[in-house]
Chain A
Amino acid sequence: MTIQFNTETFRDDYSFRNSDWAIKRFPFPFHEDSYMYSVNMEQHRGGPEGSVYEKRFDVDEHYVSEMQDRAIVLADDPLRCQSLPHMTLAGWDTLELIMVSKSEDYPDLFELHRDGNRWRWINKPMGIDHTFTFLDETTLPCGPLEYITRQAQGDYAVLDQRGDMLYMDAGMVTTQADWSLDFDIGMDFFEWHAPVPLAHEMGIFKRALKFLLNIQQGAPARRLNWTMTVNPLLDTSPENYHKWGIQKTSLTPENIGAKQHLRVELQTFYRLPRSNALLFPIRCYLIAFQDLVRIPKWGRRLHRVVRDLPDELATYKGFIANRPLMLDYLGRHDDGLPTSPGVWPDLDSEPPLQTQNDARSR
């Protein structure tokens, strides 16, 4: 498969676009017409061909532009990538996992040639051809975690596991839904999840932690999370809230279809072999409402989910003020027909939107 990489921006003029291909394979996160937090974890060992679940690290048309956006964020704020001193080995683990996975899963885009610890890495989309010594930091332009995550879509939290607890001791975080690595660094699993409503009381984090502590080498897992973002912004960080927060007030009935995006995170979990740390890649996918409603099932369902979402969640996810506007727009794409179970578009079996006229003429 050859991927045509987009030339696009996630800031200023927001030229980000999804192709038809990207729309159809969008990781729509709702398998039914309502949503509540759950321990929604499953194994990450492939998925349907062409879906974002198929490869260990999905590469799509936004790859090159997302990496350019990351470079801009890092130039402005180097603290977006941090690694406590004991996490260097986990950084090498991460580099190895990503290089091996990408070169095996996308041989036409990435190549890795290993001769003992002499490694040659070729990243064709980014025009990189670099030879270095594995485990020797002096042969890379920066630390191993930063080096490889400047070439891999999504954010990365690297968790040290000590005494039945996970600690956020390293990461690369530039495409996050309003949380900060610099604030969370060194925190434990319950501390960094403290702001999340309802889930603690539901026992979700206790169970999730037990599951994560048991994740073993060769048996990665995944889950989905979602929120809403006005304009296709990757970097919605607390550090820059003053820049993007006010954009939420710019929504109008006329521009909402283009400006309002559903933001979905495909989160995966890998046990790292040399360090025994846990790698937590958080891959962000954005889709404009106007593109999403082109899949009739998704339009119907998103309307019902947003309508019935508990206020606590809408507040935490930061869209409670815009919910009425969203419902106006989405309501026009929900004809009340039932939806098929599961997340897939089901374009062949789900009927197109019935307009008012259709309904009346029957």
Chain B
Amino acid sequence: MSAAPQKARAGAEKIDVIVSAVVPLNELVTRFEFTRADDKAFPPFSAGAHTVVEMRDGDRLRLNPYSLMSDPADSSQYAISVRRDDAGRGGSLFMHRSVKVGDRMKISYPVNLFPLDLRGRKHVFLAGGIGITPFMAMIAHLERMGGAWELHYACRNEALGTYVDQLTSRYPNKVHVYFDDRNQAIALEDLLDGQPLGTHVYVCGPKGMIDWVHATAAAHGWPDENVHSEEFLAPQPGKPFEVRLCRSDITIQVGESESLLEAMERCGVDAPFLCRGGACGQCETDVIEADGTFVHRDHWLDDEDHTSGKKIMPCVSRFVGKSLVLDR
């Protein structure tokens, strides 16, 4: 099993930050800059990484991922740009309406699900709207490392062209901007055909744009591994739920930002664990009774176990419903 397993939290560490600037860029997009509350340097990050911002919205906890768009070499601050989404779940509205300079917040360590392929001889970036943000960091990185890149950036109109002026004035030969209201569109087929061997394409934007780029590239014989897109799996803070632990003879509440395992530990139940990441199998627990649905997030149980409703891995998995009784 183990040597000296630590009861540390699973997943990304958190960083306490202070909002150091709130900069409206246009009608929809605002940049938020953070400094560390403890005055230490931020950890370096890889271009394309995002951070998960924790928002205390009344009695709700919201967790929204935003691409880090500051220069990865600048460890004195992190910056994100947030587009207000009036129809969204509310995280971006909260950022726009409630977050002020001087506020304290918690953000996660950087996580990268959209990395540069460092083997690439050349990197072609295709951005749609707010999809520009990860490319801001990638461009800063490649400029420093002397890598070849070009950007094709589609915006609704000039007024909503976030960072267009900054990009076109700094890199006039590498940045190409297309405005929908002028009927300008990225000539993707020509663009793909003209690239040297070893080029990688990255797309970040609305889902339709991502699908279009993947499909067109495939039709033009591009290997899938040379076409990259960002997939945001928005982390869901689980809803709080109640669990009856029969052997320990107690009923406990699992909060929205803790795992079932952490809740058991908080209540003094000595539950087994090792990896705290859903892989090792140590925390496997039998379900005695359940009225509701499981949210399985582990790699340990097989599909059959997951559908059976007879087992749960408390380090990562959750439950939504009326009642849950575990053999622990």
A residues within 8 Å of B by Cβ? 27, 29, 31-32, 38-48, 51, 53, 84-87, 89, 93, 96, 135, 160-163, 206-208, 210-211, 214, 216-219, 221-222, 224, 273-276, 343
Please judge, given known A-B contacts A40-B274, A219-B11, A276-B112, whether A207 and B300 are in contact too, CB under 8 Å: yes
CA distance A45 to B8 in the complex (A): 7
Distance between Cα atoms of A337 and B109 in the complex (Å): 48
* CB–CB A41/B4 < 8 A: no
Q: How far is the CA of A48 from the CA of B174 in the complex (A)?
A: 54
Is the contact region of chain A dominated by helix, strand, or loop, or is it mixed? loop
* B270 CB to nearest chain A CB (Å): 13
Contact at B111–A216, with CB atoms within 8 Å? Answer: yes
Residues of B with C-beta under 8 A to A275: 46, 118
Chain B interface (Cβ < 8 Å from any Cβ of A): 1-6, 8, 10-13, 43-46, 48-49, 72, 109-112, 115, 117-119, 144-145, 225, 274-281, 299-300
Interface centre among A84, A93, A219 (most CB of B within 10 A): A219
CB neighbours of A40 from chain B (8 A): 1-2, 274, 280
For this complex, 11 residue pairs linking A to B, each with C-beta atoms less than 8 Å apart, are A31-B3, A40-B280, A42-B4, A42-B5, A42-B276, A53-B3, A86-B117, A89-B118, A211-B275, A217-B13, A217-B45
For residue A9, give the distance in angstroms from its CB to the closest CB of chain B. 29
Q: CA–CA, A252 to B64, complex, Å?
A: 64
A38 pairs with B277, CB closer than 8 A: no
Bound Cα distance from A76 to B142, whole angstroms? 37
Min C-beta distance of B205 to chain A, whole Å: 20
A89's nearest neighbour on chain B, judged by CB, is B118
Q: Are B46 and A38 in contact (CB under 8 A)?
A: no
Interfacial chain B residues near A273, Cβ < 8 Å: 43-46, 110
Closest A residue to B144 by beta carbon equals A135
Q: Are B281 and A224 in contact (CB under 8 A)?
A: no
Instruction: Given A53-B3, A89-B145, A161-B115, check contact A42 B275 (CB 8 Å).
Output: yes
* Contact flag A48-B1 (CB < 8 Å), given A42-B275, A161-B115: no
- Nearest CB in chain B: distance from A241 CB, A: 30
A43 with B279: CB separation less than 8 A: no
Q: Which 6 A-B pairs have the closest CB atoms?
A: A211-B279, A218-B13, A47-B4, A86-B118, A218-B109, A273-B44
A188 to chain B, nearest CB (A): 12
From A39, A45, A93, A162, B275 is in contact (CB under 8 Å) with A39
- Given A48-B4, A274-B44, list of 9 further CB < 8 A pairs? A31-B1, A40-B280, A42-B3, A45-B6, A51-B4, A93-B44, A216-B111, A276-B46, A276-B112
Write out the residue numbers on chain A whose beta carbons fall within 8 Å of the beta carbon of B276: 42-43
Contacts of A32 in B (CB 8 A): 1
**Given known A38-B280, A89-B145, contact A218–B43 (CB-CB < 8 A):** yes
Name the B residues within 8 Å of A218 (CB-CB): 12-13, 43, 109
In the complex, chain B residues whose CB is within 8 Å of the CB of A39: 275, 279-281, 300
CB-CB under 8 A from A45, the residues of chain B are 6, 8
Closest B residue to A117 using CB positions: B73
B118→A208 contact, CB < 8 A: no
